[in-house]
Amino acid sequence: MSFTTKIFEQFDKKWALLTAGTKDKFNTMTISWGGLGTLWGKPVATVYVRQSRYTHDFMDDNDYFTISFYPEVYKKTLGILGSKSGREIDKMHESGLVAKELENAMTFEEAEVTLVCKKLFKQTLDVNNMLEDIGKQFYEGQSDHDMYIGEVVDII
Ligand SMILES: Cc1cc2nc3c(=O)[nH]c(=O)nc-3n(C[C@H](O)[C@H](O)[C@H](O)COP(=O)(O)O)c2cc1C
């Protein structure tokens, strides 16, 4: 299992799809905030999902999620998946991506890399514990972020 990347660019510049659910019922959304590292002696990925996202329901209801990265040509597709909700549109139809079933999770055929993550931890980012400026900028009038940490169990 290996994955070499410029970590400060991988999420911020390249973006990714965060996907949770099963073949029959899954959802995906674009993310650009996240991290990769080590915790509890395991390789982990961390993502931040606002409670208002439809994907949030799937993150809570499933034990695994995937983080998948795409060639530059899919940037427009990721833009669509990051601006419309699966509550309002059929994301698979609108994006044209082809869903791919893995042993415990879902990804897409077009992905160049998929991190398969086993959910280990979830916690809401408490606005009272962050710098006031950040709280004002990112959370006034907007729902909180839940942080999910997953063990990276496979890299495809
Ligand atoms: C480039 C980009 C990055 C985003 N990053 C995040 C993120 O890290 N966390 C988050 O909660 N929403 C993020 N979003 C917003 C969601 O992708 C967007 O609200 C999406 O429509 C949610 O879809 P859903 O309701 O089907 O889950 C991002 C959007 C874009 C375009």
SS (H, E, C) the chain: CCCCCCHHHHCCCCCEEEEEECCCCEEEEEECCEEEEEECCEEEEEEEEECCCHHHHHHHHCCEEEEEECCHHHHHHHHHHCCCCCCCCCHHHHHCCCEEECCCCEEECCCCEEEEEEEEEEEECCHHHCCHHHHHHHHCCCCCEEEEEEEEEEEC
Ligand 1 atom index nearest CA of 56: 27
Distance (angstroms) between ligand 1 centre and the Cα of 79 equals 9
> What is the radius of gyration, based on Cα positions, of the chain?
15
Of all protein residues, whose CA lies closest to atom 31 belonging to ligand 1? 82
Tokens 């980012």 correspond to 125
- Residue-level pLDDT at 4: 84
> Which pTM was predicted?
0.98
Task: For ligand 1, say whether the CB of 35 is within 6 Å of any of its atoms.
Answer: no
**Residue 70 main-chain phi, psi, to 5 deg:** -130, 155
Tokens 């940037």 correspond to 75
Structure-block tokens of residue 144: 């909180």
Closest CA to 52 of 86, 93, 77, 18: 86
- Residue-level pLDDT at 2: 76
Q: Digits of tens for pLDDT over the chain (156 positions)? A: 778 889 899 999 999 999 999 999 999 999 999 999 999 999 999 999 999 999 999 999 999 999 999 999 999 999 999 999 999 999 999 999 999 999 999 999 999 999 999 999 999 999 999 999 999 999 999 999 999 999 999 999
Probe target for ligand 1 pocket from 29, 88, 91, with the most ligand atoms within 8 Å of CB: 29
- Residue-level pLDDT at 52: 98
Of all protein residues, whose CA lies closest to atom 9 belonging to ligand 1? 49
Q: Please say whether the beta carbons of 43 and 35 come within 8 A.
A: no
